[in-house]
A and B are shown apart, each in its own frame.
Chain A
Amino acid sequence: MAQMNMIQALNSALDAVLADDPKTLIFGEDVGYFGGVFRVTDGLQAKHGLTRCFDAPISEGGIIATAIGMGAYGLRPVVEIQFADYILPAFDQLVSEAARLRYRSNGEFWAPITVRSPYGGGIFGGQTHSQSPEAIFAHITGLKTVIPSNPYDAKGLLIASILEDDPVIFLEPKRLYNGPFDGHHDRKLRTWAGHASAEVPEGLYTVPLGKAAIVREGADVTLLAYGTMVHVGLAAIEESGIDAELIDLRSIVPLDIDAITASVTKTGRCVILHEASRFGGFGGELSALVQERCFYCLKNPIERVAGWDTPYPHAFEWDYFPGPARVIAALRRTMEA
């Protein structure tokens, strides 16, 4: 067991699958010799060879299209889209091809591809390096969408995603790469050192998709979160003194609906937290599911805490980011209402 930050854990996952399966290969912008702008593929080309981890043209559509073709041949490509904000040129490939291939060909062809992409804000990246587009993928039938919140899960979920025979969008909260960020941007930076989930085994292991984690058990309100917001939510619970149950969804497709309903049935209250803007966000789906399945257990209206419905604003990063204060306010509202 080694101490790893999330970058090292993801690198360890890729290293392990490259060593294990010759049909796995990696490509993307700057991922080869240089090792990626966030260093996630650092050293993999030198260790595994040029054809196992190589640079791609600045062509997100071309990257995903060729990956689908490789998948149809029988490989398991893992591609990096440098920022989730840049994935949209490949949207047709993801929606019309990767997600539909198995269905429309009656299982003759499928796309066992994994699309890794750093996502989310908190790094002063402005509009084009901060967005959280998970909801648009969740809406596409045929895609799976995975979002880890810590190094241990990141490695196990990435390996599980690569082993999937269906296409997976693997969104890496870039603000968590180096430490468990709880939203208190004005406090001293914390690293993963000493964090329980930074204990990461070498070699292959998986964390199954579609299985949520109960990060903190509680009796009074359920807080649903994923990615960076898991840490924001935990800080908010501790500071509020409210006995909330925090659930880290880990993947939004497949969604662990049983964990959600079990918790809300127990607590009777629900707060949904995500960084993406609110209207049409994944919180809307979660809210509808909770309402449909737990209506008679609900003591108070469901609350959503999310980014404002504006583009991600550079100078106003911390006004936009749904930090602990907004989560605490929502927890209090749902307790008091």
Chain B
Amino acid sequence: MRPVYMISGGITKFTKAEPRKSFRVMVKEAFDYALRDCSKLTVERIDGTVVSYFSDHFTRQLKAGVMAVDMCGLVPKPTIRIEGGGATGGLCFQEAWRHVASGWMDCVVAMGFETMSHVNTWKGNEFIALASDTNFDYPVGGFYTGYYAMMVVRHMHEFGTTVEQLAKVSVKNHRNALHNKWAQHHYDITVEDVRRSPMVAYPLTILDICTMSDGAAVAILASEEVAQHVCDNPVRVLGVGMGSDAMRMADRPHDDVILLKHEDPKWYRGLKYPGVHSFRAGRTACKMAYEKAAIEDPREDLDFVELHDAYTSSEIQTYEDMGLCKYGDGGKFIDQGHPELTGRIPVNPSGGLIACGHPVGATGLMQAVFAFWQLQNNIAKHNDGDATIQVRQQKGKGRRPMRGAIHSHAGTGTYVTVSILESTLA
């Protein structure tokens, strides 16, 4: 595999409903944004596309991918559609990476979208719940917030995690998004606001949960040669990893923890893993990505993380899967302020899914775009001059931020991708 660089990115502003633009036009707008930001890149240089969107039900337009590609003027170049639930965007990013890393192509556009406003929220929840076992899970009361609520109830039972700790994730992510013009929600909220908002599935309130959105995002990946030619400030894709787990939460085993390099088996004596409190796919993806990127200890070697916080609870679970803290310490990790913008390792400086929105097929690519701008030190350029969410040098780290991880997650942890990006700024 040869080195791969991200050379540009673009997004549309995510919104509850964008009835004035079809998915093709949203993708085209994100693509044009990316082209404008990398003015030496011409359409002729692009070898092909990878397109991600989660559910055919939302748009009820099969083979929608090629329609987006067509709108961008990229037919008859090769194209392929990628789908894997909530991780669709992350899988798309990695498929584009493979296109280039393998030497097959030199410049590939990863483009993703979702138009979830085409049905009402309860119908959308039904479509999403069809991404659970339709014999044994969906008919019992298929509802993803219900599934995540059960996981966090067990996490609370095992580790003493509290609802206030969950709420702090929502407060943090919304606060970061106050300074992100691309975010869907700009809410200045407190822990009390989160707890007093309507209960959706105990203990998750409406402010513990991301929303459905319309939107598109584009990431352009290239070989070293193309990157050097067309981009002054490319970002290296240092390593990628992915993992999977059984569709049904009920099937998850109760075994031993899969250890990361910096972890000690003594930490986890007696802990049954993953059960329904942890994500084996997330841990597997991290382990692989860290090995490929030579990350010895993510707490030291990563400078920020954009992770898939579809729920506040899954952000806390993911701190642990990613090794940002020990299994069981996710609640304390947020209590201690480590994932805050000025903390030890900022998590979701963009505002994450909870504040930015979650147009599924675009989400993983949105994370790539935010991480790309972070590592180019370009947040202000793309955010009307506001650099508040630009991650600064952290205490105890003798360098400015160099490396970020993006984490994309599907189902109750069925597909997870982790990609490590590194700045090339001197």
Chain A complexes with chain B: no
Interface residues of B (CB under 8 A from A): none
